[in-house]
């Protein structure tokens, strides 16, 4: 009996589990497309497609049906319906997350919902629940698109990608007012045809058991001089659409007798194929019989002009001059002005890359042709340079020379402009020809519309059309065209990611599917109310009776109108964390609470230090010290350098005495030898190589140098290898030698003392060349200050002022395209007070950076070091033109204003960072830095600043003894850290130290960062060591070098704050690198 009592409940449990498992729901299941009905209504402007699908579940249990599909660019889903109880219910458009959340919650209750959403550009998914076993569900959705213009035809294509057979398929296509009978394109309709009726072409087709895996595609032919109009008058406003094929040639013949050539002589000219460009110019002059050529030389400024007369001079003069020209400096295309050119054509020879600024040449009424020989692909930039002047873009790497020279004998034409006093056109001019053109606008009263064709150089022709307000087509058509244009600009324009708010507003307003908005259908009224979903029209009255009225305009208003509190919330949230760290008893910033009345801001001064004003480090009695230091590993190949000291002293050959003789590695190894002594035999005057007797076979040969001390001190010449004294020359491989110097006795003794009395052989081995990855790595921890500088840096620092330029010229031969070389040379020349040369070399460095943010930020860092804050500010502003929402760059700009004593501009720029509404990934830390540094300036200069526009809640001073920021000019910093005097390491995984230090990355979870801050309220005496991980930065000479900027703020947010700035070069470093030791 007891066993029976146990066994019966067990059977009951097993039966229940078995039944539950058989009823387990299946989610995201593919289903069979049983029926598909497609209706397409098209006209010369748009096409509206209604797709009805019936999905069948062949399984033995209910499932959640999921179907994915794709559409073409420009096809927009504007409606969605789900069949419920034999009747279709309209879908509600909602924010994507909200629709998905409601759908998932309702599915959990086994109630009917359906969801249609976009999963990426042009990719969609459809979910329906439930689909009962051996049953089907129906949905319907609407697609709107513009007819696609392709030369002299308008095309339609609907992609279908179903791989299983569909039982029933029905298709109906109606094309109203076609210019000709539509053509069937390749795809599903390949065996079908259109019937032509009264201003209507139609196609009707039914099929069974068909696989819908080919597109439905057709096109409508168009004719010139036969425009098609849609004019609609509503509410006193007349809108119109005009589709036509222009009766104007795309190209027209031109003959230029006088041309202006603009020749880019910046440093990047060395990367162009100058000989090929000159060959093209010579052919162009000959083919087009050009008589006069004005050649303007330019880089970051116009350098001069050469006049060439083809009848009187040989072209070889121009060729030799331009091939032998000293190409230097950066490129600034914005300095060129073509608007006042009197020649027949302009030929611009350049790589087209602006290394300074973003402005392009000012265009005028002359044809501009752009010619390049680089392998870069920047077609859009090149098109912007040519503009609508009718000129051409010619890349000589891909265009045969003869064809290129003949090509410019024509000019491209455009629809330049329109003339009409009572007609307004929405589109931007000029517009390219060679295809159908769609114009839209408004008509205030009947007027003539004149369309003008040509280019800036000349007007080709004009066409005239009389437009009168009428009611020739529906208002809906004009609205759809406007919607489709907006959709395309939002989805495919620049910075689409940052347009998410605009995309939500657009999707909710127009009721279309976007990446941020989805269609949702629910069954029960209660669910629309519970999840705050817009009900369909059929349920609005019932919802109102239940006191639920949904207003989509309220949601749109919320998206558009950001209050000051919303803009400040990100900065306040991270700054409140700072406040909590600074003092647990300090209240956080709360914009909803009134501020306590206070007469002034509390500013703390450090004990024992006078309250001083913040000044730039170059001034006498300053409170700000700015010190910059480079340290770089690696070396460059040097031909004239002679090592003359065990301590690495180097002099150029011209500054060495006659008792020193030099050999390069190539000269030493003219005949291969097994050791360095034998390699020297017969190559250096006064050097004897003595072999040992046969009895001592295998022993080292002996070197005797003329001038050897007659007293016979020592056993022979002294060997110095890379600055280290060696016992002998054994084991030194001649193949590893970069150069070798032989010093006679007196010269060696003067440097090495008695050990050099018999002469010295000073050897420099080959080092890792800058620009090439190392062959092997040994990870270690070391101080950057202990590493040797680049060879060329040491050479320049040891050169005297009078020979500095000559030494540079020699070094440049082997470092011509090395970005880091020019940056470091510029800084050396500036440090020697040769400022003109420094700026010239800085332009070379900027040019090689090709406008990269990493290179330009480094240039700005160096300009700040030099005290050239106007140039640094100009660089930051130029970068912000292409990335206005880059908050890190704005912070750098504010810091430059600060150092330049433009305190008001600095505070205003910092505040723009704090109040930025568009959020980038991980910019909250930048906002915190901006708010902290803004308060530091206000603490010191409040009496001189107008801060009435700043929310007073933000004026919270949190003074600390020491604050250190670390940032890189380009790539992320890897594992930055601060080692405190007690030895504790602060970094991303140890943000709060026992000493009270606070370490903040720009990212909470990763060791990499682009801006790092360490702060300690009560600093201890000692050194705070700044370290980063380095991974052999800058593998290639053409890459901008990676520098790290370390800023130490002492007495931060106090009256006597000081600031120290240092720069560190991480090129060719590998390991845990200690950059700086900040003393307190």
pLDDT tens digits, 86-132: 899 999 999 888 888 888 888 766 667 899 999 888 899 999 988 88
pLDDT for 205-216, tens place per residue?
Answer: 999 999 999 999
Identify which has the larger pLDDT, 316 or 1007: 316
What integer is the mean pLDDT of 589-617? 50
Q: Using CA of residue 586, residue 592, residue 594, residue 599, what is the dihedral sign?
A: positive
Instruction: Identify the CATH class of 641-765.
Output: mainly beta
Q: List the one residue out of 156, 204, 196, 157 whose CA is nearest residue 180.
A: 196
Encode 367-379: b = buried (16+ Cβ within 10 Å), e = exposed. Answer: bbbbbbbbeeeee
Asked whether the CA dihedral 397, 402, 405, 406 is positive or negative, the reply is negative
pLDDT of residue 39: 97
Phi, psi of 477 (to 5 degrees): -60, -45
- Average the pLDDT over 122-150 and give the result: 91
Cβ–Cβ contacts within 10 Å for residue 773, how many?
A: 11
- Where in the sequence of the chain do the CATH 3.40.50.410 domains occur? 251-412
Mean of the pLDDT values across residues 14-23? 44
> What would the pLDDT profile of 25-73 be if each residue is shown by its tens digit?
677 788 899 999 999 999 888 999 999 999 999 998 988 899 999 999 9
Q: What is the spatial distance between Cα 798 and Cα 809, in angstroms, rounded to a whole number?
A: 15
Tell me the pLDDT tens digit for each residue of 540-554. Answer: 888 888 887 776 655
The tally of CA atoms less than 13 A away on the side-chain side of residue 579 is 18
Alpha carbons 642 and 1011: distance in angstroms, whole number: 42
Is the entire prediction scored with pTM above 0.75? Answer: no
Residues contacting 800, CB < 8 A, separation 6+:
655
Task: Kindly report, as residue ranges, where domains of CATH 1.25.40.10 are found in the chain.
Answer: 781-1079
Q: Quick one: CA torsion of 821, 827, 833, 835, rounded to 10 degrees? A: 80
Q: Contact 893/877 with Cβ under 8 angstroms?
A: yes
417 Cβ contact list (under 8 Å, min separation 6): 429, 430, 452
C-alpha angle 557-559-564 in degrees, rounded to nearest 5:
95
Among 472-481, 683-692, 1057-1066, top mean pLDDT goes to 1057-1066
Which three-class secondary structure state does DSSP give residue 276? helix
**Which of 31 and 711 is assigned the larger pLDDT?**
31
Is 812 or 745 the better-scoring residue by pLDDT? 812
Please report the pLDDT score of residue 744 as a whole number. 78
Give helix 819-831 / helix 791-798 axis angle, nearest 10°. 20
The whole-number pLDDT of residue 494 equals 57
Residues 85 and 107: their CA atoms lie apart, in Å, by 18
Kindly give, in sequence order, each residue whose CB lies less than 8 Å from that of residue 592, ignoring residues fewer than 6 positions away. 565
Note the pLDDT of residue 638.
28
Q: Using an 8 Å Cβ cutoff, are 864 and 1061 in contact?
A: yes
Give 496's pLDDT tier (boundaries 50, 70, 90): low
- 717 has a pLDDT exceeding 90: no
Q: What is the pLDDT of residue 24?
A: 59
Tens digits of per-residue pLDDT, 506-557?
998 899 999 989 999 998 888 888 888 888 888 888 888 888 777 665 555 5
pLDDT at 102: 86
Residue 227 in this model has a pLDDT that exceeds 90: no
Return the CATH fold of 251-412: Rossmann fold (3.40.50)
- Residue keyed to tokens 């062959």: 775
Cα–Cα distance for residue pair 411/392, rounded to 1 Å: 8
Average pLDDT over residues 933-955: 90
Closest CA to 519 of 528, 527, 511: 511
What confidence score (pLDDT) does residue 98 get? 85
pLDDT value for 243: 85
Q: Which residues pair with 1050 in a beta bridge?
A: 962, 1058
Place of tokens 């030369």: 151
CA distance 394 to 400: 10
366 pLDDT above the threshold of 80: yes
Query: Residue 659 and residue 88: Cα distance in Å, rounded?
Result: 103
Residue 288 binned pLDDT confidence (cut-offs 50, 70, 90)? confident
* Tens of pLDDT, residues 956-971: 999 999 999 999 887 6
Q: What is the mean pLDDT of the chain?
A: 81
Express each pLDDT in 749-791 by its tens digit.
656 666 777 888 888 776 534 333 333 446 778 888 888 888 8
Instruction: Kindly report which listed range (260-269, 774-783, 897-906) carries the lowest average pLDDT score.
Output: 774-783
> Nearest CA to 1074 among 1023, 1027, 1014?
1027
Name the pLDDT band for 1 (thresholds 50, 70, 90).
Answer: very low
Mean pLDDT of 341-361: 87
Give pLDDT tens digits for 969-996: 876 788 899 999 999 999 888 999 999 9
| Tokens found for residue 292 | 């006069």
Of 408, 406, 409, the C-alpha closest to 393 is 408
Express each pLDDT in 789-804 by its tens digit: 888 888 998 999 999 9
Cβ atoms of 650 and 795 closer than 8 Å:
yes
For residues 97 and 531, give the distance between their C-alpha atoms in angstroms, rounded to a whole number. 12
Q: How many residues does the chain have?
A: 1080
Note the pLDDT of residue 97: 86
Provide CATH 2.170.130.10 ranges for the chain.
Answer: 641-765
What is Dmax (Cα atoms) for the chain? Answer: 127
Contact 404, 383 (CB under 8 A): no
Domain with residues 781-1079, CATH architecture: Alpha Horseshoe (1.25)
What pLDDT does residue 661 have?
75
Of 86, 951, 299, 859, nearest in space to 565 by CA: 951
CA–CA separation, 961 and 932 (whole Å): 14
**CA 240 – CA 517 distance, rounded (Å):** 30
Decide if 413 contacts 220 (C-beta within 8 A). Answer: no
Q: Residues with Cβ < 8 Å from 497, sequence gap 6 or more?
A: none
Task: Tell me the average pLDDT across 701-716.
Answer: 58
What is the spatial distance between Cα 1053 and Cα 1050, in angstroms, rounded to a whole number? 9
Answer whether residue 560 shows pLDDT above 80. no
Whether 1053 has a pLDDT exceeding 60, the answer reads yes
DSSP lists the bridge partners of residue 452 as: 417, 462
Residue 685 has pLDDT above 50, yes or no: yes
The tokens describing 875, both together, are 């660089």
Q: Tell me what percent of the residues of the chain surpass a pLDDT of 70.
A: 82
Q: What's the mean pLDDT in 250-258? A: 82
CB under 8 Å to 381, separation ≥6 — which residues?
352, 353
Which tokens belong to 690? 């003595």
Residue 1002: pLDDT band (50, 70, 90) is low
Q: How many other C-beta atoms are found inside a 10 Å radius of the C-beta of residue 451? A: 26
Residue 512 CB partners (closer than 8 Å, separation 6+): 76, 77, 78, 93, 483, 487, 506
Average pLDDT over residues 433-460: 86
């Amino acid at each position: 009996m007891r066993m029976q009592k146990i066994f019966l409940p067990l059977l009951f449990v097993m039966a229940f589990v078995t039944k539950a498992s058989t009823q387990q729901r299946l989610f995201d299941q593919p289903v069979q497309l049983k029926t598909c009905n497609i209706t397409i209504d098209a006209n010369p402007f748009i096409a509206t497609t209604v797709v009805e699908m019936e999905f069948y579940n062949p399984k033995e249990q209910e499932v959640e049906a999921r179907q994915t599909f794709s559409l073409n660019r420009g096809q927009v889903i504007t409606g969605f319906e789900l069949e419920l109880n034999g009747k279709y219910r309209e879908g509600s458009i909602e924010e994507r997350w909200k629709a998905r959340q409601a759908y998932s919650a309702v599915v959990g209750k086994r109630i009917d919902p359906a969801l249609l959403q976009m999963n990426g550009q042009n990719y969609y998914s459809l979910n329906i629940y439930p689909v009962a076993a051996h049953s089907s569900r129906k949905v319907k959705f609407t697609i709107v698109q513009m007819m696609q213009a392709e030369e002299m035809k308008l095309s339609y294509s609907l992609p279908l990608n179903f791989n299983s057979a569909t039982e029933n398929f029905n298709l109906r296509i109606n094309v109203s007012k076609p210019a000709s009978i539509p053509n069937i394109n390749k795809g599903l309709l390949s065996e079908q045809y259109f019937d032509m009726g009264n201003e209507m072409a139609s196609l009707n087709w039914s099929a069974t058991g068909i696989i819908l895996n080919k597109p439905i595609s057709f096109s409508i032919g168009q004719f010139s001089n036969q425009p098609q109009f849609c004019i609609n008058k509503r509410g006193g406003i007349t809108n119109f659409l005009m589709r036509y094929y222009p009766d104007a040639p795309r190209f027209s013949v031109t003959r230029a007798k006088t041309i202006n050539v603009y020749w880019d002589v910046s440093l990047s000219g060395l990367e162009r194929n100058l000989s090929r460009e000159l060959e093209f110019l010579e052919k162009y002059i000959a083919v087009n019989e050009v008589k006069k050529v004005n050649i303007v030389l330019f880089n970051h400024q116009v350098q001069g002009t050469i006049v060439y007369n083809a009848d009187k001079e040989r072209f070889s003069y121009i060729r030799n001059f331009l091939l032998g020209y000293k190409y230097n400096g950066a490129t600034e295309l914005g300095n060129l002005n073509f608007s006042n050119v009197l020649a027949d054509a302009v030929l611009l020879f350049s790589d087209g890359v602006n290394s300074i600024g973003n402005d392009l040449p000012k265009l005028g009424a002359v044809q501009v042709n752009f010619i390049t020989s680089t392998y870069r692909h920047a077609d859009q930039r090149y098109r912007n340079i040519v503009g609508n002047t009718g000129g051409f873009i010619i890349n000589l790497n891909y265009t045969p020379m003869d064809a290129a020279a003949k090509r410019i004998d024509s000019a491209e034409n455009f629809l330049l402009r329109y003339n009409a006093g009572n007609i307004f056109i929405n589109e931007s001019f000029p517009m390219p020809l060679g295809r159908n053109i769609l114009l839209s606008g408004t008509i205030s009263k009947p007027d003539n519309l004149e369309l003008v064709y040509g280019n800036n150089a000349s007007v080709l022709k004009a066409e005239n059309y009389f437009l009168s307000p009428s009611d020739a087509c529906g208002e809906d058509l004009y609205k759809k065209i406007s919607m489709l244009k907006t959709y395309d600009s939002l989805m495919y324009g620049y910075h689409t990611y940052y347009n998410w708010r605009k995309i939500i507003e657009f999707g909710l307003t127009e009721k279309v599917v976007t990446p941020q908005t989805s269609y949702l259908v629910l069954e029960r009224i209660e669910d629309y109310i519970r999840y705050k979903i817009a009900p369909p029209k059929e349920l609005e009255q019932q919802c109102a009776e239940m006191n639920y009225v949904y207003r989509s305009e309220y949601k749109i208003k919320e998206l558009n109108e950001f209050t000051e509190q919303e803009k400040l919330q990100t900065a306040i949230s991270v700054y409140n964390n700072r406040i909590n760290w600074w003092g647990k008893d300090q209240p956080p910033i709360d914009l909803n609470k009134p501020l306590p009345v206070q007469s002034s801001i509390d500013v703390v001064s450090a004990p024992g230090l006078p309250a001083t004003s913040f000044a730039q480090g170059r001034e006498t009695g300053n409170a700000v010290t700015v010190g910059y230091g480079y340290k770089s590993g690696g070396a460059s190949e040097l031909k004239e350098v002679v090592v003359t000291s065990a301590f690495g002293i180097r002099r150029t050959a011209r500054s060495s005495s006659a008792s020193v003789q030099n050999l390069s590695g190539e000269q030493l190894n003219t005949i291969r030898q097994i050791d360095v002594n034998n390699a020297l035999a017969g190559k250096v005057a006064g050097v004897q190589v003595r072999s040992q007797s046969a009895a001592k076979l295998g022993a080292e040969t002996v070197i005797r140098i003329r001038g050897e001390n007659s007293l016979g001190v020592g056993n022979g010449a002294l060997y110095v290898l890379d600055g280290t004294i060696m016992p002998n020359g054994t084991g030194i491989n001649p193949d590893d030698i970069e150069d070798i110097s032989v010093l006679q006795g007196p010269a060696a003794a003067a440097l090495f003392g008695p050990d050099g009395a018999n002469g010295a052989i000073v050897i420099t081995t080959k080092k890792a060349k800058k620009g090439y990855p190392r062959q092997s790595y040994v990870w270690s921890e070391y101080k950057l200050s202990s590493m040797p500088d680049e060879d060329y840096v040491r050479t320049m620092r040891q050169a005297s002022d009078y020979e500095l330029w000559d030494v540079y010229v020699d070094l440049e031969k082997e470092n011509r395209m090395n970005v880091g070389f020019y940056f470091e040379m510029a800084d050396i020349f500036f440090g020697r007070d040769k400022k003109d040369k420094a700026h010239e070399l800085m332009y070379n460095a900027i040019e090689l950076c090709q406008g990269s943010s990493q290179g330009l930020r480094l240039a700005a860092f160096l300009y700040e070091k030099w005290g050239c804050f106007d140039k640094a500010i100009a660089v930051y502003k130029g970068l912000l033109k292409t990335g206005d929402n880059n908050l890190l760059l704005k912070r750098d700009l504010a810091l430059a204003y600060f150092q330049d004593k433009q305190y008001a501009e600095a505070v205003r720029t910092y505040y723009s960072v704090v109040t930025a509404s568009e959020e980038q990934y991980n910019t909250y830390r930048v906002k915190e830095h901006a708010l902290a540094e803004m308060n530091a300036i206000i603490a010191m200069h409040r009496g001189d600043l107008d801060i009435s526009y700043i929310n007073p809640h933000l004026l919270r001073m949190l003074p600390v003894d020491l604050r250190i920021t670390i940032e890189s000019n380009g790539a992320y910093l890897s594992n930055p850290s601060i080692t405190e005097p007690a030895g504790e390491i602060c970094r991303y995984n140890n943000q709060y130290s026992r000493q009270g230090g606070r370490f903040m990355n720009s990212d909470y979870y990763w060791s990499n960062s682009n801006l790092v801050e360490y702060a300690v309220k009560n600093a201890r005496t000692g050194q705070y060591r700044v370290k980063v991980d380095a991974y052999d930065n800058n593998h290639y000479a053409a890459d901008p070098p990676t520098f790290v900027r370390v800023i130490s703020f002492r007495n931060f947010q106090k009256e006597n704050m000081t600031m120290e700035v240092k720069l560190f070069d991480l090129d060719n470093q590998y390991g845990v690198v200690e950059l700086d030791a900040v003393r307190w």
